[in-house]
Amino acid sequence: MLKRLPMKCIDINSPYCPCLLSQTNHCTFCSHLKGEAVCDCNWSGVCILYEKKWQQNTDIWRADADRPVRLESDTEFIIKQKIAEHTYLLEIEVLPELAQSLTRSGAFVFMRRPADQHFYYFPVGVMNVSGNNIEVVIETMGPKSSRLFIDDNNRILVRGPYFNGIFGQPWIDNVFNGKILLIAGGMGQPPAMPIAHRLVENNNNITAILAPGKIGTVFIAEELSKLGIQIQQVASMRQFGMHALTEILTDSELCPELIVSAGPDEQHYGIIAAMQSAGVNLPMAATNNTTMCCGEGICGSCERLTKNNSRVRTCKVQTDFSQFIQE
C-alpha cells in the first residue's frame, strides 16, 4: 500500500538547496526560512537553515559568482526524427555532469538558442539519456520553440537539471512488484518513457493505454513493448481511453495499485473523475503541465491553488495532483 504523499520540495538537500527563495524568506519547506519563529519542518535530513548560514560565506547565489545556479551546455543538436508536422525528436550532447543528473524520471531542462535573450528559455522534459546525449521531443507551436529551427540553426543552450516534471515522484520511486496503469497521450509520451524505465527496474507489472493526442501519432509503443509492457492503443483518450480505464477500475483483478497519467491536465482530471465514478481511490502520479519561466520558484508563473487554499510553486514542490483546484 502506497503511503499518502506529503508536500515536499524536490530540491531539498540537493546541491541546489537552499535555493534563491531562502534569501527572501520564501523557502517552500523550512519554517524559519519562511519568516516564522518556530521550527516545525518535520525534516530528518540536513538542516536547511544551517546550510543557508554556511553558504552565506560562499556567495554561490551571487550573479557574478563563478558557479551558476544550474549547469549550462552551449552545444549542438541533431533532428533524430520528425515525429509529426510540428514535432521533432532531438538528440543533444551536453556536459557529462548534466547528463548524469537527468537520468531520473521527471527531469527536465530549459533551452533556447544561444544568441537569443534570456526570456526565450522554455522547459522540455527529458525522454532518454545515453552517455552524454539526451533526447527531447519538441513541439514547435510557439515563438520560443519555433526559434530553434529558424535559418537552419543547430545550436542550443541547455540549462539544468530540474526535477519536478511529475507530481507523485515518490510513488514512482517506491512501488515494487506492483500493478501499474500507465496512461499517456500526445506530448505526454516523452516523459512517460523514463517513468516506464523506472517502474520496470522496480519489477512492476505495467499496462499502458496510449493515445495520439493532438500531435496525431503514438511513437513510444514499440519501445514500451520491448520493456515488457502490455500496450493498448486507442484512437482518442477522451472517447475510448476513459472507457478502457473504467473497465479496468471496475475489475478487481485488473485494478492497479498506482495510476500514472502522462498528458494534459484535462486527462489527469478525467482519470480522477473515472476513479470517483468507479468508487475507487488510488494514488495517481501526473505530469506537471504548469507554465514555467524560471524554474527556480522566483517568477511565480507556476503557482497553483490547492484545496486547502494555499499556493504552491509547482516547479519546486512535490504534492498530490488531486489536491489542486481544477482551473
In whole angstroms, what is the distance from residue 305 CA to residue 133 CA?
36
Helix (H) or strand (E) segment spanning residue 122? strand 122-130
210: number of Cβ within 10 Å: 27
CB 78 within 8 A of CB 154: yes
Give the end of a domain, one of 162, 183, 211.
162
CB 153 within 8 A of CB 105: no
Question: Between 179 and 59, where is the model more confident?
Answer: 179
Whether residue 293 is found in the same domain as residue 188: yes
User: What predicted TM-score, i.e. pTM, was given to this entire model?
Assistant: 0.91
Q: Is the pLDDT of residue 265 over 60?
A: yes
Helix (H) or strand (E) segment spanning residue 117? none
Give the end of a domain, one of 119, 136, 162.
162
* 263: nearest Cα among 211, 196, 309, 302: 211
- Ranking 94-98, 118-122, 287-291, 323-327 by mean pLDDT, the lowest is 323-327
What pLDDT is recorded for position 93? 97
In whole angstroms, what is the distance from residue 182 CA to residue 230 CA?
10
Give the largest CA-CA distance in the chain.
Answer: 59
Question: Per-residue pLDDT averaged across 215-232, rounded?
Answer: 96
- Ranking 48-52, 168-172, 308-312 by mean pLDDT, the lowest is 48-52
Whether residue 185 is found in the same domain as residue 122: no
- Span 85-126, pLDDT tens digits: 999 999 999 999 999 999 999 999 999 999 999 999 999 999
In a domain, 1, yes or no: no
- Span 27-73, pLDDT tens digits: 888 888 888 888 877 777 788 887 777 766 555 545 445 445 799 99
What pLDDT is recorded for position 43? 76
Name the burial class of residue 206, with classes exposed (0-12), middle (13-18) and buried (19+) by CB atoms within 10 angstroms of its CB.
buried
* 168: nearest Cα among 245, 260, 306, 255: 260
* Number of structural domains found in the chain: 3
Q: Is the pLDDT of residue 196 over 60?
A: yes
Whether residue 152 is found in the same domain as residue 207: no
Question: Between 31 and 176, where is the model more confident?
Answer: 176
Domain limits for position 112: 71-162
**CA-derived radius of gyration, the chain:** 20
Please report the sign of the dihedral spanned by the C-alpha atoms of residue 83, residue 129, residue 227, residue 203.
Answer: negative
Whether residue 283 is found in the same domain as residue 319: yes
Parallel, antiparallel, or unpaired for β 258-262 and 284-287? parallel
Parallel, antiparallel, or unpaired for β 230-233 and 205-211? parallel
Q: What CATH number is associated with residue 179?
A: 3.40.50.80
